[in-house]
């Protein structure tokens, strides 16, 4: 592939999605009956994008496989075994997602090989590892976006729990009172996950009563009640009391490393991740939960949330930097007479227009394409350089 091409992308229709957000972005006239949760841009085997080459639509996986150096560039092709290393998404959540965590590379490789040896089918609902890759991710808010991310400091957990359980003792907190460190957090969290059904219902019901009494005092109590409406009696209802609550304004982003418990609660965001589908769940879901495996993956170090909203550079690009080598996310906002010009040294890039319209032009040869809201394109490494102009807001994924 030698030129910039338009992408045709799959939609994932999960129950927690929105009936209007992605449809509005893509200018589809009728709301869907089923919620649309994610627009996927990339080459993940579960749902690859298609790209038009030589007059016909082909899977991006196939296009990369035919000429990986042309699409990815020689360096990225060698480093990532001739595979597009990232998956780029628009995520639209009207309801909370499950509490989840992703493995690091060695854990993913070991888990994938172990389940293969045990002949667990790739599509089995109880399978934990769908591939041998890790899944660090970055999410940037397009609208106001609320999430939970990482453990609160032990003293903060105890303060919130004590407010909710003011009228009844909650003995599962005892290990955390004795040891306010990662070991105490692990023992506390393990006791929550292993509560019997009767005890779990009792604890959640008491938490709900306590939160109703003081709901206006902290956003955490609001979310505890919301989660109980969605998943009554689920142990994950307590998670706003022990996980950091994050409220992102448009343009703010968070990075989620391997091992960090998190859950996205509401809003529209741009999400980029290493191209993997490995998820271990810990609550707020009817899907499979493997407690022993989850406890092996979770990092029990309390950590504050670091939000970033970097300024735009002289090229009108706001770059969100993370430790991940597989991806880099950026936002480009142009106002009429402004022009973004790509770097000369780059790998493959995928761009999506989230607002406005403009055009993208290949600097060698002058070939150009119009850009409008909801449209996405792939710029292969073989394109020497390109420029974008117009009244337009773009998000760009690169290596």
Catalytic-residue membership of 281: yes
The 10 Å CB-count burial string (b at 16+, else e) for 166-186 is eeeebebbebbeeebeeebbb
How much is the pLDDT for 278?
Answer: 92
User: Across-strand partners of 320?
Assistant: 329
pLDDT at 273: 96
Alpha helices in the chain (DSSP H): 21-25, 60-66, 68-72, 74-79, 105-117, 154-164, 174-178, 182-193, 197-214, 219-230, 239-242, 291-297
pLDDT recorded at residue 345:
87
Mean of pLDDT values over 127-151? 95
Q: How far apart are CA 86 and CA 81, in angstroms?
A: 13
pLDDT of 301 > 80? The answer is yes
Residue with tokens 């980029």: 272
Distance between CA atoms of residues 3 and 281, nearest Å: 41
The number of helix segments (H) and strand segments (E) in the chain equals 12, 19
Does residue 117 surpass a pLDDT of 90?
Answer: yes
Tokens found for residue 257: 């490393």
How sure is the predictor about 26, in pLDDT bands with cuts at 50, 70 and 90? confident
The strand pairing partners of 268, in sequence order, are 92
Distance (Å, whole) CA 226 – CA 333: 35
| pLDDT the model gives residue 34 | 86
- Average pLDDT in the chain: 94
**Residues ≥6 apart with Cβ < 8 Å to 21:** 36, 92, 94, 268
Q: Which one is catalytic: 95, 127, 152, 281?
A: 281
Q: Is 191 helix (H, G, I), strand (E, B) or coil?
A: helix
Q: Phi then psi for 91, rounded to 5 degrees?
A: -110, 130
Percent of the chain with pLDDT over 70: 99
Bridge partners of residue 137, in order along the sequence: 256, 273
197-214 vs 219-230: helix crossing angle, rounded to 10: 140
Give 41-84 pLDDT, tens digit per residue. 999 988 999 998 888 999 999 999 999 999 999 999 999 999 99
pLDDT tens for each residue of 249-273: 999 999 999 999 999 999 999 999 9
Q: Are 345 and 381 in contact (CB under 8 A)?
A: no
- Of 19, 17, 38, 39, the C-alpha closest to 30 is 19
Question: CA-CA distance, 389 to 380, in Å (whole number)?
Answer: 19
Q: Is pLDDT of 286 > 90?
A: no
Q: What is the mean pLDDT of residues 343-371?
A: 94
Segment 87-92 shows an average pLDDT of 97
Distance between CA atoms of residues 184 and 54, nearest Å: 60
Share of the chain above pLDDT 90, in %: 87
- Cα-Cα-Cα-Cα dihedral of 335, 339, 343, 344, to 10°? 160
CA atoms within 13 A on the CB side of 23: 14
pLDDT for res 83: 95
Would the pLDDT of 308 be above 90? yes
pLDDT, tens digit, for every residue of 146-200? Answer: 999 999 999 999 999 999 998 888 999 999 999 999 999 999 999 999 999 999 9
User: Model confidence at 247, in pLDDT bands (50, 70, 90)?
Assistant: very high
Question: What is the model's pLDDT at position 355?
Answer: 95
pLDDT tens for each residue of 193-236? 999 999 999 999 999 999 999 999 999 999 999 999 999 999 99
Q: Other C-beta atoms within 10 Å of 130: how many? A: 19
- Confidence at residue 344, expressed as pLDDT on a 0 to 100 scale: 84
Residues 324 and 139: beta-carbon distance below 8 Å:
no
């Amino acid at each position: 592939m030698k030129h910039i091409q338009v992408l045709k992308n799959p939609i994932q229709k999960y129950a927690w999605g929105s009936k209007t957000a992605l449809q509005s972005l893509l200018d589809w006239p009728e709301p869907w009956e089923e919620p649309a949760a994610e627009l996927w841009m990339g080459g993940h085997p579960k749902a690859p994008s298609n790209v038009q080459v030589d007059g016909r639509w082909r899977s991006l996986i196939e296009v990369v496989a035919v000429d990986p150096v042309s699409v990815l560039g020689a360096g990225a092709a060698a480093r990532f075994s001739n595979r597009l290393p990232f998956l780029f998404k628009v995520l639209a959540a009207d309801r909370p997602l499950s509490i989840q965590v992703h493995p690091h590379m060695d854990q993913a490789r070991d888990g994938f090989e172990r389940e293969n040896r045990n002949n667990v089918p790739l599509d089995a609902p109880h399978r934990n590892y769908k591939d041998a890759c890790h899944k660090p991710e970055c999410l940037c808010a397009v609208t106001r976006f609320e999430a939970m991310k990482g453990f609160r400091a032990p003293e903060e957990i105890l303060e919130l729990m004590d407010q909710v359980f003011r009228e009844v003792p909650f003995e599962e907190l005892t290990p955390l009172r004795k040891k306010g460190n990662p070991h105490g957090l692990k023992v506390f969290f393990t006791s929550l996950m292993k509560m019997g059904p009767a005890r779990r219902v009792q604890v959640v019901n008491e938490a709900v009563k306590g939160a109703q009494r003081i709901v206006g005092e902290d956003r955490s109590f609001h979310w505890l009640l919301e989660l109980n409406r969605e998943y009554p009696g689920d142990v994950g209802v307590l998670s706003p009391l022990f996980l950091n609550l994050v409220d992102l304004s448009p343009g703010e982003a968070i990075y989620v490393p391997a091992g960090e418990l998190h859950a996205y609660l509401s809003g529209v965001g741009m999400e980029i991740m290493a191209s993997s589908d490995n998820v271990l769940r810990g609550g707020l879901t009817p899907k499979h939960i493997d407690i022993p495996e989850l406890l092996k993956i979770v990092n029990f170090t309390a950590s504050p949330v670091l939000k970033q909203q970097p300024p735009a550079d002289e090229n009108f690009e706001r770059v969100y930097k993370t430790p991940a080598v597989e991806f880099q996310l950026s936002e480009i906002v142009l106002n009429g007479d402004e022009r973004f010009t790509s770097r000369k040294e780059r790998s493959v890039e995928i761009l999506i227009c989230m607002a406005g319209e403009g055009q993208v032009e290949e600097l060698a040869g002058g070939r150009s394409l119009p850009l409008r809201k909801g449209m996405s394109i792939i710029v292969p490494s073989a394109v020497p350089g390109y420029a974008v102009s117009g009244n337009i807001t773009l998000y760009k994924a690169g290596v």
